[in-house]
Amino acid sequence: MTAKLIDGKAIAQEVRDGVAAVVAKRAAAGKSKPTLATVLVGDRVDSATYVKSKGKACEELGMGSVSHYLPADISQAELEKLIKSLNDDKTVNGILVQLPLPSHLNEERVLQLISIEKDVDGFSPINIGRLAQKGREPLFVPCTPNGCIYLLDKMGIQIEGANAVVLGRSNIVGMPASLLLVSRNATVTICHSRTKNLPDVVRQADILIAAIGKTEMVRGDWIKTGAAVIDVGMNSKPDATKKSGYRLVGDVNFEEVKEVAGFITPVPGGVGPMTIAMLMKNTLRAAEIQDK
């Protein structure tokens, strides 16, 4: 193995410790407990797991959490009514609507309804719009892309002037990650299902962010020697040696890529823990903004 392993679990723990220390100071000063409201519509197993981890993290850091579980067939009007009530609720600092929503619901309308000061996911059109424009500051940056950038900074990887390739253009990861890299003066190429000669494009990358949702798609011979590889993928792969019958793997073929890259995130234990750590940071920030 030539690549340095990027220990997302340990780095996320440092971030969480920092948040917990500020939360404890706030409590000692008689300030409110930063509180996150999560909204889960329907019974997707993966979404339920993520939402549960977010609530658990709040508890572990001394923060508050309120979970709203809504049936899959809830109406748009009812969901919007809940969002409005959370916007008005002074005990709630951050609102997170777990995505994806069932297809009958209008995600765009739901996200734009969330008060910008409580938009800890950074998905409201105002926050994303500010991220996309020069000289504008979003109040909150989406958690997974922010976690990827945090890992690069922590490892001392230079972003300015680097050739960065982002695989995937989703609203949750690929697009905001690309915007963040541009704002840090990287030269960014966004790849997707219609990209031609993908391996050749990826070979130009000093920094690769893989968020395409395809099991171990990125091969060792796609990687420039010494590149930093951030794997956002979370795919389950059949594995008869596991009790569950599967194991979690990324969008990158770890065994091959670790022999060529300079830095690599493992799956699990890379980007995943960073998403929650950044969410905790954003929720604390929301409470601080709302104190004023």
- Please list every residue from 198 through 237 that binds ligand GUN, using CB under 6 A: none
Query: In this chain, which stretch among 97-105, 125-133, 184-192, 252-260 interacts with ligand GUN, using CB under 6 A?
Result: 97-105
Query: In this chain, which stretch among 12-20, 72-80, 96-104, 153-161 interacts with ligand GUN, using CB under 6 A?
Result: 96-104
Q: Establish whether 121 is a catalytic residue.
A: yes
Q: Establish whether 90 is a catalytic residue.
A: no
Q: Is the dihedral of CA 193, 199, 200, 204 positive or negative?
A: positive
Q: Judged by CB under 6 A, which of 93, 183, 253, 275 binds ligand GUN?
A: 275
Query: In this chain, which stretch among 25-33, 93-101, 218-226, 253-261 interacts with ligand GUN, using CB under 6 A?
Result: 93-101
- Please list every residue from 167 through 186 that binds ligand GUN, using CB under 6 A: 172
Check residue 283 and report its DSSP letter: H
Q: Judged by CB under 6 A, which of 97, 101, 159, 261 binds ligand GUN?
A: 97
Instruction: Tokens for 73, please give them.
Output: 């067939």
CB of 25 to ligand GUN, least distance (A): 27
4: which strand partners?
Answer: 263
Give me the residue label for tokens 């997302």. 8
Contact 165, 191 (CB under 8 A): yes
Interaction of residue 121 with ligand GUN, rule CB under 6 A:
yes
Check residue 26 and report its DSSP letter: H
- Please list every residue from 98 through 117 that binds ligand GUN, using CB under 6 A: 98-99
C-beta contacts of 76-85 below 8 A and 24+ residues apart: 76/104, 76/105, 76/106, 76/109, 76/110, 79/39, 79/41, 79/105, 79/110, 80/109, 80/110, 80/113, 82/39, 83/39, 83/110, 83/113, 83/114, 84/113
> Looking at the annotation, which residues are catalytic?
54, 98, 121
Q: What residues line the site for ligand GUN (CB under 6 A)?
A: 96-99, 121, 143-144, 172, 275
